[in-house]
Amino acid sequence: MYPIYHVKVRWSERYPPETAAHNMRASELPAGRFWNGSSWDTMEREETDVVERLLRDWWPEYSKKLLEPADLTLIVELRCRDTWCSGWFSHWTFDTGQSDQEVLDSFREYVDRIQYSDRPEDEIGSLLMGAEDEWRWHGGERTEAPCRCPVCKERGVVRIDH
Ligand SMILES: [Zn+2]
């Protein structure tokens, strides 16, 4: 089981001058600026200072494409410990040398465990995103699950999309 963190990021940025929206005023912000943000789950091999790493590696690179980014808030919470991390209609786990069969068995066990847990229904829905239907499982480019493409290999993960 690996620690899974929920990341919530919020920042303000300037509207591009060519958009009509730049005259709108967001609360607490000077005219021409708006709030933007994102959230996702991330799984780590061991407990990690995720905030520190995001500030060091992710934000400087990501914020380059934003206009005058400011007011950054980063909230990271340890959500749970598990073997699979959910993304957008996709799950992944670390490649520890499992066979395809072992990966599929592990994912089936994960899906069942989440599906029949006592979590609220909307949380189960957002964690599984359709993974409860095994016929949806596939790798990248509609290959057979699990995905072991070069991108997954480089990240040291195996992935199941659905
Ligand atoms: Zn892949």
Per-residue pLDDT tens over the stretch 82-91: 999 998 899 9
How far, in Å, from the CA of 118 to the mean position of ligand 1? 31
b vs e for 121-144, b when ≥16 Cβ sit within 10 Å of the residue's Cβ? eeeeeebbbebeeeeebbbeeeee
The domains of the chain are located at 2-81, 83-161
How far, in Å, from the CA of 160 to the mean position of ligand 1? 8
How far, in Å, from the CA of 140 to the mean position of ligand 1? 6
Q: The tokens of 143 are what?
A: 């290959």
Q: What pTM did the predictor assign? A: 0.85
Per-residue pLDDT tens over the stretch 67-104: 999 999 999 999 999 999 998 899 999 999 999 999 99
How far, in Å, from the CA of 12 to the mean position of ligand 1? 33
Query: Which of the residues in the chain have pLDDT under 70?
Result: 20-27
